[in-house]
Structure 1
Amino acid sequence: MAATGRPAETVLATDRLTVRHWTQDDHDRAFAIYSRWEVARWLGSTPRALAEPAEARAMVERWRLRSTDPRFGVWAVERQDSGTVVGSVLLVPLPGGDGEVEIGWHLHPDSWGHGFATEAARGVLAKGFADGLAEIRAVVRPGNGPSAAVCRRLGMTLLGPTSRWYGVETEEYRIARTG
């Protein structure tokens, strides 16, 4: 539940997690996640950790405004047992307008090693396929072993290096809808 007492809109739930829209009430936790270099170093064409809490507020607002198509978004991942936001999971069109869709996850280091990224991503994959997507990709920077391991646990196939997106070389993974 958001700190204002209004529930945040739920996208999906798994056994342990609720995937929901970020709210402005979450900006402190967003800052706690994205101000850490160990998280930010893997993100974007020019990785940069947030320096000011106001940047987290603006980021959460951008994500909220991007969520006009219910198939896509950058969503908060919240533990059901504690209400703690452990990070983000995303399903977004890749830049370039070719119709490819990316899944990704960014977790606070205090939530690493608990299977939360894999659990949230499995739920988002199922949602994406139920919404009609035929395939979903992940792009992982070389050296990001934990994210590559999540891709493997999800059953994604490594297609190899690419620099098609974000202006940097990444490893491309893909999974297709079955049935």
Structure 2
Amino acid sequence: MEDLLTQRLVLHPLTVEEAQFLTREEQGEHSQWAPGYPAAADIAGARRYVETCAAEGDPQPFGAWEIRRREDFEAIGGLGFHGPPDEDGAVTIGYGLVPVAQGRGYATEALRGLLRFARAHGVRQVRGDTDRGNTASQRVMAAAGMKPVGEDERLKYYAVRWPDTMDGQRTRGRREAG
């Protein structure tokens, strides 16, 4: 799998070995990690990816990805799919940034890149959710083109859906995501 490039970011699909490294208790210092990386959510996503690979095989390209800045290649967070598309062509996504990288538009840029990637790979719907009080994440999903589709006492749910084209072929996107 190749990295996806956005204007300021590299979206790097994790290998099983990279994900296993993130899940280790003793990782040591890593020169290309921003302070706070990997966060608990990054470790949980890497662990889920490793477990999925062991149980069902590698779901890439619908697995875990690392968000890196292009300027210094420093890892600032993670994003990815919670598995391959279901029978309806839908996937669920998650994302997060370390605190030092928040508030700069990186999450929106990364999510837009992942949405373009999903669409280019035949996905018809992308779903996500966030805590009701997490207005920053709600703004990220809205800015990336996802719409609110529901809520419960704990979460707000978002989705974006793309129709098939007239001839039944799904729309394909560019490799470079913006």
The TM-score, its normalising length taken from structure 2, stands at 0.68
Distance in structure 1 (CA, Å) of the matches to 2:88 and 2:130: 19
The one-letter code matched in structure 1 to 2:10 is T
1:63 aligns with 2:63: no
Residue number in structure 2 paired with 1:17: 9
Q: Give the whole-Å Cα distance in 1 for the aligned partners of 2:109 and 2:52.
A: 23
Cα offset, 1:59, TM superposition:
6.4
Task: State the secondary structure of the residue aligned to 1:33.
Answer: coil
Runs of 4+ in 1 over 4 A off after TM superposition: 24-31, 96-99
**What is residue 127 of structure 2 aligned with on the other side?**
137
Q: Which residue of 1 aligns with 2:103?
A: 113
The Cα shift of 1:66 comes to 3.8
Indicate whether 1:75 and 2:65 are aligned: yes
The corresponding residue for 2:37 is 33
Shift of 1:161: 1.0
Counterpart pick for 1:175 among 160, 165, 177: 160
Letter in 1 for 2:37: I
**Structure 2 unmatched runs, 5+:** 166-178
| SS of equivalent residue, structure 2 residue 61 | coil
**Residues 36, 99 of structure 2: 8 Å contact kept:** no
Q: What is the aligned residue count?
A: 147
Q: Does 1:126 align with 2:116?
A: yes
Tell me the amino acid that sits aligned with residue 12 of structure 2.
Answer: R
* Deviation by residue 1:51-89 (Cα, 9 ceiling, x = unmatched): xxxxx5x96465356461223112110001011101001
